[in-house]
């Protein structure tokens, strides 16, 4: 098991059905991209969860800094008018 | 559809009707033996792969090999159920899988070889995956419709098995000095056992003559081309062909099968008829 610590981490995205977006489902270790796809297939699609797989080396993901979350996200908090809750929805519209 | 095409279709249909099952074409004894050869190969190899569960080099490989083992056991279930019907003694898949004696198993000896290290398991897997792939591809066109359907389902699974094992063969063969040395030595040890896969006997020939199974020399040529390409990519050297003493498909096994059966059969022999 110790060797596994040297295997790079990949993030896995699965498309559940044609027309849907790929969704992040988890991560895994693999030595290369081909193995990452195979592991993703074995780990995350064994119960027919998907029709397409993306794997992305975790090191290539640029993430926002949790320390900056106040600056990034709090200014949106008091702008509730951005939510579409002020519209009257006509009765005829069933699926919104 | 043109007249010629209609005629061809009609001719094919007639041939298929003439030999609707392997048992009709070559008799129940030969077809039972042939089905056991196919089914036992998957069963025993699946059991071997299952031994890795909880012991793999990584959690991901644990699941990968368990997945392949389950595919193989699924193939064994279909083939052994069919064998039970051909046998006509009322035995189902479980009785056939778990309650036969050592010499009644007809898997090729290669399948029962111990796992060894991970590289050793991968070499065994590549050799047998490539064999099953070439065989199932051709069995999908078998005159026996049921066997053809089982092969058509299995060929998809097997294509993935080979993708998995071949990926590892190249990674290890073309990896470090140590990984290369290990898989090369596994190849030297296992290679002699591949001879049996293609050594046609009267059952294989009867199956081929009846259009139930492909001629083994045809399977061998395709297998060799595939394996040679993989070995080249993995920078491994193909060992020389040599004869060997074992002939599992006629019930003459290496000493390893007995230990495998003892573990595999334990539950059914302790609790006969147990289901879950």
B164 touches chain A (CB under 8 A): yes
- Which chain A residue's Cα is nearest to B61? A39
In this prediction, residues B252-274 reach a mean pLDDT of 93
Residues of chain A contacting residue B63, judged by C-beta atoms under 8 Å apart: 39, 42-43, 46
What whole-number distance in Å separates Cα of residue A28 and Cα of residue A40?
7
In this prediction, residues B118-124 reach a mean pLDDT of 98
Query: Which tokens go with A39?
Result: 């592991």
Size of interface A-B (CB pairs under 8 A): 33
Interchain CB distance below 8 Å, B58 and A46: no
Higher pLDDT, B28 or A86: B28
In this prediction, residues B159-172 reach a mean pLDDT of 97
User: What residue segments make up the domains of chain A, in order of their start?
Assistant: 2-61
B58 touches chain A (CB under 8 A): yes
In this prediction, residues B97-107 reach a mean pLDDT of 96
Residues of chain B contacting residue A40, judged by C-beta atoms under 8 Å apart: none
Interchain CB distance below 8 Å, A39 and B64: yes
How far does the CA of residue B60 sit from the closest CA of chain A (Å)?
A: 6
B163 touches chain A (CB under 8 A): yes
**CATH fold of the domain at B27-239+253-270:** Ferritin (1.20.1260)
Give the model's confidence band at B4: pLDDT under 50 very low, under 70 low, under 90 confident, else very high.
Answer: very low
Q: What is the pLDDT of residue B10?
A: 43
Tens digit of each residue's pLDDT (9 = 90 or more) over B194-230 = 999 999 999 999 999 999 999 999 999 999 999 999 9
Q: What is the pLDDT of residue B242?
A: 83
- Which chain B residue's Cα is nearest to A27? B60
Residue of B64, B67, B171 with shortest CB distance to A31? B171
What whole-number distance in Å separates Cα of residue B224 and Cα of residue B127?
10
Report whether pLDDT(B12) > 50.
Answer: no
Tens digit of each residue's pLDDT (9 = 90 or more) over A48-96 = 899 999 999 999 999 999 999 999 999 888 888 888 777 788 888 887 6
Residue of A3, A35, A42 with shortest CB distance to B67? A42
Report whether pLDDT(B158) > 60.
Answer: yes
Tell me, yes or no, if the pTM score tops 0.90: no
Domain A2-61 class, CATH top level: alpha beta
Interchain CB distance below 8 Å, A35 and B67: no
Q: What is the pLDDT of residue B135?
A: 98
Interchain CB distance below 8 Å, B59 and A34: no
Tens digit of each residue's pLDDT (9 = 90 or more) over B47-70 = 999 999 999 989 999 999 999 999
Q: What is the ipTM of this complex?
A: 0.75
Tell me which DSSP letter residue B107 carries: -
Report whether pLDDT(A18) > 60.
Answer: yes
Tell me which DSSP letter residue A80 carries: G
Q: Label residues A11-43 b or e (16+ Cβ within 10 Å = b).
A: bbbbbbeeeeeeeebeebbbbeeebbbbbbbbb
């Amino acid at each position: 098991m110790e060797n596994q610590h040297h295997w790079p981490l990949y993030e896995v995205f699965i498309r559940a059905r044609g027309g849907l977006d790929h969704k992040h489902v988890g991560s895994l270790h693999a030595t290369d991209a081909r193995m990452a796809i195979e592991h993703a297939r074995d780990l995350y699609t064994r119960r027919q969860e998907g029709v397409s797989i993306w794997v992305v080396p975790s090191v290539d993901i640029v993430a926002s800094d949790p320390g900056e979350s106040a600056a990034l996200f709090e200014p949106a908090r008091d702008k509730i008018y951005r939510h579409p809750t002020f519209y009257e929805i006509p009765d005829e519209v069933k699926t919104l | 559809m043109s007249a010629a095409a209609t005629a061809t279709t009609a001719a094919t249909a007639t041939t298929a009707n003439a030999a609707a099952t392997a048992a009709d074409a070559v008799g129940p004894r030969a077809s039972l033996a042939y089905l056991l050869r196919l089914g036992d190969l998957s069963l025993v190899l699946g059991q071997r792969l299952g031994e890795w569960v909880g012991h793999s080099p990584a959690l991901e490989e644990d699941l990968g090999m368990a997945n392949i083992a389950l595919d193989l056991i699924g193939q064994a279930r279909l083939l052994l159920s069919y064998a039970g019907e051909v046998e006509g003694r009322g035995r189902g898949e479980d009785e056939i899988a778990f309650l036969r004696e050592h010499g009644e198993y007809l898997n090729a000896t290669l399948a029962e070889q111990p796992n060894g290290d991970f590289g050793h398991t991968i070499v065994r897997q590549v050799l047998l995956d490539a064999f099953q792939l070439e065989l199932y591809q051709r069995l999908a066109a078998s005159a026996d419709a049921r066997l053809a359907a089982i092969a058509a389902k299995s060929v998809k699974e097997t294509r993935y098995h080979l993708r998995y094992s071949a990926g590892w063969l190249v990674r290890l063969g073309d990896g470090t000095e140590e990984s290369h040395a290990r898989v090369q030595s596994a190849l030297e040890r296992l290679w002699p056992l591949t001879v049996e896969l293609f050594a046609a006997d009267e059952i294989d020939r009867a199956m081929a003559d009846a259009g139930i199974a492909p001629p083994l020399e045809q399977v061998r040529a395709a297998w060799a081309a595939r394996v040679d390409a993989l070995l080249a990519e993995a920078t491994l050297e193909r060992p020389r062909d040599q004869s060997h003493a074992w002939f599992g498909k006629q019930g003459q096994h290496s000493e390893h099968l007995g230990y495998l059966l003892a573990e595999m059969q334990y539950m059914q022999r302790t609790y006969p008829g147990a289901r879950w």
